[in-house]
Every structure is written in structure tokens, then in C-alpha cells.
Amino acid sequence: MKSTSVHDIFIIFLFIFSQFVRGLEDCRSGMYPPKGPTFKGNVTWYTVNLDLPPSERWTQVIKDKNSELITMVQTIKDMAKGFFHGKLIDLVDEELPLIVDTLPHPFNEEMKGIAAVSGIPLGEITLFNIFYEVFTVCTSLVAEDFNGKIYHARNLDFGLFMGWDRQNKTWTLTEKLKPLVVNVNFQRNNKTVFKSTNFAGYVGMLTGIRPGELTLTMNERFNFDGGYVGILEWIFGQRDGMWMGFLTRKVLENATSYEDAKAQLSLTKLLAPAYFILGGNRTGQGCVITRTRINTLDIWELDKNLGRWYVLETNYDHWEKPMILDDRRTPAMKCMNQTTQANISLSSIYDVLSTKPVLNKLTTYTSLMEVSTGTLESYIRDCPNPCTPW
Ligand SMILES: *[C@@H]1O[C@H](CO)[C@@H](O)[C@H](O)[C@H]1NC(C)=O
Ligand SMILES: *[C@@H]1O[C@H](CO)[C@@H](O)[C@H](O)[C@H]1NC(C)=O
Ligand SMILES: *[C@@H]1O[C@H](CO)[C@@H](O)[C@H](O)[C@H]1NC(C)=O
Ligand SMILES: *[C@@H]1O[C@H](CO)[C@@H](O)[C@H](O)[C@H]1NC(C)=O
Ligand SMILES: *[C@@H]1O[C@H](CO)[C@@H](O)[C@H](O)[C@H]1NC(C)=O
Ligand SMILES: *[C@@H]1O[C@H](CO)[C@@H](O)[C@H](O)[C@H]1NC(C)=O
Ligand SMILES: *[C@@H]1O[C@H](CO)[C@@H](O)[C@H](O)[C@H]1NC(C)=O
């Protein structure tokens, strides 16, 4: 693994420059059903049986994805070696396994089961799980059509600018993650409780649906009091905050309604700031919850009276301007506005999420959900050149 050099930085600036020169892409149309160079493949479905002991739930998924998981964990470790002269990895192998026992049930047992099946040390599985809590940037939206149908969709962008592959012009971590994307149908008594698009080896949730009831995605919120502080505090013993991906999992598994989910997502103390994007099953039920670790700054809801038929979140507070070098919000909103409420569908939302730079080189998958039919469709994405690196 090469470390970032002047050359990499030069390439990155060249890309930024080319983004301005080329300007923004026109809103895409006719991209659905997914095909062509930006569609890299379907996501395979697995069933996870919640009636099994937690340590046995992920066996099939891990067996199928083990070599990809080992490659990913090794890549993360190689990158972590660059920090503190490898001391970070010692910490991972020595300290993180002890920490697993302090995690809430069933997550601790599930991680132990994953480590046992994969043969990967428990500390490294824990590191892998922490990684997803902190290194994702995303675009999520909830929209309502004229019939009160609620759609929820997202692009998951992963990699956070680590390991630019000069030869292939891709992000190493992003590419290594793509084969780990799985769809999971979580069942109790042989009946679906919820479904999610997930990474093999990760026990939290970033994208999920309780058919007929609610849809949920999580986006990273960068903040100075952010994830890093919370995670360090947590490693060193102050463990009152909940992991974000555990909370979303708990909501998807056990929430009784949109209102219940909203309350849990707003009131639970967290390890790091986050955005929760929640959709319900009735008109007006869709919101973006902006969280600090302790409290909720804002809940931004659909509102017919204000003509707000969709809410859209990237990684910046909606009442502030996005960072100029990372404005995926304006192009996504431009395309939503062009689509209009009259023509909103899985198909037209896929078009919005296929427009650069909403689609970029970090984009790992696109998920489309429609709560009333219980639909969850996910597609692995690619962004061949010319394409912005984020
Ligand atoms: C993806 O799934 C769709 C629908 O099941 C199928 O028509 C298509 O051929 C699949 N594409 C790939 C690349 O596997
Ligand atoms: C570029 O992609 C090719 C084919 O996927 C792969 O074999 C090669 O290792 C990649 N290059 C680097 C530097 O990772
Ligand atoms: C679930 O279905 C399988 C096979 O269809 C059956 O053997 C099993 O008893 C069922 N389990 C429950 C809890 O209903
Ligand atoms: C959901 O509730 C059940 C029953 O109370 C519990 O066993 C399970 O651990 C809960 N799930 C999560 C993720 O907290
Ligand atoms: C919406 O969700 C609530 C709470 O789960 C449920 O009681 C209700 O039947 C659902 N409504 C529809 C139209 O499915
Ligand atoms: C989209 O429409 C909304 C509501 O009319 C408006 O506030 C926003 O500025 C528009 N954004 C773009 C990028 O066109
Ligand atoms: C509505 O969306 C479909 C699919 O994205 C597109 O083919 C059609 O042209 C759109 N119609 C209008 C009026 O925008």
C-alpha cells in the first residue's frame, strides 16, 4: 500500500479542477432498469434467522464471502499500519477483543460468531465494524408521490479518500467493499421482520426497511466533536453512547411504528453525530434527523403545506451550505425538482442517483425502497471515467 504522496494530491486537485471545467452533468434519464457501465451487478439475497443463537446467524453469509472479507480486513489493517508506527494494530489485536464483551447483546455474540466462522481475529472484526461507523459519505432521500406512496433511496459512498489506485483510477477500499455487499432478509418464525442492504461481516445497519411500516438509512455527520472523539472515549472506557449502526439495527428489528422509530433515533445517546433518514407508511411521514452525540438539533419533515414533497440529505446540515468541494446536494435537488412529484418512482429516483457527482467514484451501491410494497432493490455501482473521485 502506497501512502499519499504529492503525486496523489496533484491528481486529486486535477480532478477537482476538471469537475469545475466540465460543469455538472445533466440529469440522467432512462437508466432504469439498471444496465450499462454504471451498473456493476445485482446484490445477492441471504436469509438471517433471528431465532438462531446470535453466533450462528451469519454463518452462511460469511462462508460465501470469506475470502473477500479477509482481503478487506487486510486492506484496512495495512492502512492502519501507517498510523502511530503500527501501534494502532497492536491496540486492535490486544484491546478490541476485550471490548467486544462490553458491547450490547446480540452484537457481541454475532461478532464472535463471525470471527469464529471466518478465522479472522475478533479484534479485527471489531475494527471492521467500527470502520463502517465512520467512513461512509452518502446521499439519502425520502419522497412522496401524489398518491401518498413513500419512496426512500440512497447512494452509499464509501472509502473516504484512502488508497487512490492510480492505475485503475479507483479507490482501493471502495472496490474491495463492492463484493461484500449483500441483501439480507431477517426472519423470525420464518416471516420477514426487516430487510437490509449490508456488508458481510458488519452487524449494524446502514440501509433497511420494515415492509409496510418504515424505511431507514444513516449518513455520516462530520463534526469536530465527532466520531473519533466518541470512539476513543469508548475504547478507553466511557461507554454510555450507543453505536449508530446498532441503534439503526435495533429500530429496524424492534420499532413498532414510524413515531416509535423517530423517538428512538432522536433520544438515544450516540457514540458519534449522525443523520438518520426515516420514512414511514403514511402521507407526510418522512424526515431527516440531525443528531449530535447527545441531542437532536433538528427534525426536518415532509410538509405538504410548504410544498416539501421530498427531503434530501448528503453529509451537511440541511440549513447550512454544503462544503463547496463536495456539493452533491445541489445537483441531486436540481434533478429531483426537474423530475417533479408527478413523476416520482423507483425508476426516476434511480436516474437522480445515477447523475454525477451524486454518482461518483466512491459510490458503492444504490438502494431503492418503497414501503407499501416492501420493495428493497440494491445495485452495485461503477463510475467509469470521466467521473469525479467523490
Ligand atoms: C440482475 O437482475 C435482473 C432481474 O432479476 C436480471 O434481469 C439481470 O440480468 C441481472 N443482471 C446481472 C448483471 O446479473
Ligand atoms: C487494477 O485492476 C486490475 C483488474 O481489476 C487488477 O488486477 C489490478 O491489481 C488493479 N491495480 C491495482 C494497482 O490495484
Ligand atoms: C421454518 O420453515 C422450515 C422449513 O420450511 C421448517 O422446518 C421450520 O420448522 C419453520 N420454523 C418455524 C419457527 O416455523
Ligand atoms: C429486539 O427485541 C428482542 C426481544 O426483546 C431482543 O431479543 C433483541 O435483542 C432485540 N434486538 C436488538 C437488535 O436489540
Ligand atoms: C403503518 O404502520 C403502522 C405501525 O406499524 C401499522 O399499524 C399500520 O397498519 C401501517 N399502515 C399501513 C397502511 O400499512
Ligand atoms: C428545488 O426546489 C426547492 C423547492 O422549490 C427549492 O427550495 C430549491 O432551491 C430547488 N433546488 C434546486 C437546486 O433547484
Ligand atoms: C417520467 O419518468 C420516466 C422514467 O424515468 C421518463 O421516461 C419520463 O420521460 C418522465 N416523464 C416526464 C413527464 O418527465
Q: Which ligand is nearest to the CA of 345?
A: 7
Tell how far the Cα of 141 is from the centroid of ligand 5, in angstroms: 21
The predicted structure's pLDDT at residue 161: 61
Could you report the per-residue pLDDT of 23-73, keeping only the tens digit for each?
468 999 999 999 999 999 999 999 999 999 999 999 999 999 999 999 999
Q: Which three cell numbers stand for residue 209?
A: 426497511
Instruction: Determine which residue's CA is closest to atom 6 belonging to ligand 2.
Output: 168
* Sheet (strand 296-301) strand order: 45-49, 181-188, 191-199, 207-210, 214-220, 274-279, 286-291, 296-301
Phi-psi region of 307 (alpha: psi -120 to 50; beta: other; left: phi over 0): left
- Pick the ligand that lies closest to the CA of residue 45: 1
Place of cell 414501503: 371
Q: What is the pLDDT of residue 339?
A: 97
Q: CB within 8 A of 117, min separation 6: which ones?
A: 58, 59, 62, 63, 66
User: Which of the residues 138, 287, 383, 387 is marked catalytic?
Assistant: 138
Give the integer Cα–Cα distance in Å for 144 and 151.
6
- Mutation to probe ligand 1, out of 39, 40, 42 (largest number of atoms < 8 A from CB): 42
Which of 167, 172, 173, 382 for mutating ligand 2's site (highest number of atoms within 8 Å of CB)?
Answer: 167
pLDDT over threshold 50, residue 292: yes
Closest atom of ligand 7 to CA, residue 348:
5
The DSSP bridge partners found for residue 278 are 216, 287
Determine the distance separating the centroid of ligand 1 and the alpha carbon of 115, expressed in angstroms. Answer: 32
Mutate which of 213, 371, 373 for ligand 5 pocket (most atoms within 8 A of beta carbon): 213
Type of residue numbered 109 = E
Q: Whose atoms come closest to the Cα of 163: which ligand?
A: 2
Establish whether residue 347 lines the binding site of ligand 7, counting it when its CB lies within 6 angstroms of any ligand atom.
yes
For residue 227, how far is its CA from the centre of ligand 4 (angstroms)?
25
Under a CB-based contact definition with an 8 Å cutoff, are residues 196 and 366 in contact? no
Taking all residues of the chain, what is their mean pLDDT, rounded to a whole number?
89
Residue 99 is predicted with a pLDDT of 82
* Residue 292 main-chain phi, psi, to 5 deg: -95, 180
- Enter the C-alpha cell of residue 28: 440522467
Mean pLDDT for 266-286 is 95
- The rounded Å distance from CA 143 to ligand 6 centre is 14
Average pLDDT of the segment spanning 169-178: 90
The predicted model gives 161-167 an average pLDDT of 77
The pLDDT tens digits of the residues spanning 194-226 come to 999 999 999 999 999 999 999 999 998 876 566
Distance 363 CA to ligand 2 centre (A): 18
- Higher pLDDT among residues 242 and 266, named by residue: 266
For residue 227, give Cα distances in angstroms to 32, 72, 224, 261: 36, 22, 8, 22
The residue ranking higher by pLDDT, 86 or 265, is 265
312 within 8 A of 336, measured Cβ to Cβ: yes
Query: Is 27 part of the annotated catalytic residue set?
Result: no
Q: Is the pLDDT of residue 22 over 60?
A: no
Band (228; pLDDT cuts 50, 70, 90): low
Mean pLDDT over 262-273 rounds to 94
Q: What pLDDT does 21 receive?
A: 46
Instruction: Give percent above pLDDT 90 in the chain.
Output: 65
Closest-CA residue to 336 (of 128, 140, 204, 93): 140
